[in-house]
Amino acid sequence: MLTKIKKCIVFLLILTTLVSFHSLSAPGAAAKTEVQYANFRNVRAGKIGRNILYRSQHPANGSYRSQFANKLAKQKGVRTVINLCDTKGAVEGYFRKYKISPNYYYRTLYAKGRIHYANMKEYHNGSAYRKKVAYACRFMNVHQGPYLIHCKVGRDRTGFMILLLECLMDAPFSYMLRDYEQSLINVNGYNWEKAHKTAREKLRDELHCTKSLSR
């Protein structure tokens, strides 16, 4: 009887390992490295200096991806964070809920008051949204970099905020397009062809929105 139980335990451990491996290799994840999995990268174009501005998925919300974003933020020496999707209370809730989650570096920035909580919705329109964008930019202006901008997965809200900064800093359209494509590959698991087509359509709408925000 004891032998059967041991065999069952071994089988379950092997099965769990296989399921975990499959989840990491699934089309939705589509990430082969920590950098891709965290959708983490340096934004370097136009007048934006190297290793000054980074973007990523959420580094502290308890998801499996978050541990990589947190780790990479520490490695790059991020000093100021623009959290586009949460309130301060929501972030404190993550800390209480995920006490053993490796979001230690994010906690240190929180303790130093170096995180701005923009609490933006996914759809950017209206005067309230413009004010939140302006507050986020002002926060960056009075705090030292390197900077990290993130939302939940680092694609839509982050993509728009990064796009706005790229426009202000004279980044070429080709760079903006590649940057957006990379998020679609990392987060959605798109192949390059699909990412390219979707990114072009998305950028057309996003650039139209930046015109109203620029006022």
| pLDDT tens-digit map of 159-214 | 999 999 999 999 999 999 999 999 999 999 999 999 999 999 888 888 877 765 54
Q: Quick check: bond before 146 cis, omega within 30?
A: yes
d(CA 14, CA 8): 10
Name 171's bridge partners. none
Average pLDDT score over residue span 26-30: 40
Coil vs helix vs strand at 112: coil
pLDDT tens for residues 57-110? 999 998 889 999 999 999 999 999 999 999 999 999 999 888 666 789 999 999
Report residue 31's pLDDT band, with 50, 70 and 90 as the boundaries: very low
Domain coordinates in residue numbering, the chain: 31-213
pLDDT of residue 86: 97
pLDDT of residue 207: 82
pLDDT of residue 215: 45
pLDDT of residue 56: 97
**CATH architecture under which domain 31-213 falls:** Alpha-Beta Complex (3.90)
Please, which residues have CB within 8 angstroms of residue 152's CB and are 6 or more apart in sequence?
57, 58, 61, 85
pLDDT of residue 155: 93
Single out the residue of 175, 135, 182, 160 nearest to residue 47, CA to CA: 175
pLDDT at 24 over 50: no
1-5, 78-82, 154-158: the lowest-pLDDT one:
1-5
Longest dimension (CA), the chain: 75
Distance of CA 64 to the CA centre of its chain: 13
pLDDT at 153 over 70: yes
Average pLDDT score over residue span 39-62: 95
pLDDT of residue 25: 38
pLDDT tens for residues 62-72? 888 999 999 99
Angle between helices 192-213 and 157-168 (to 10 degrees): 70
pLDDT of residue 10: 42
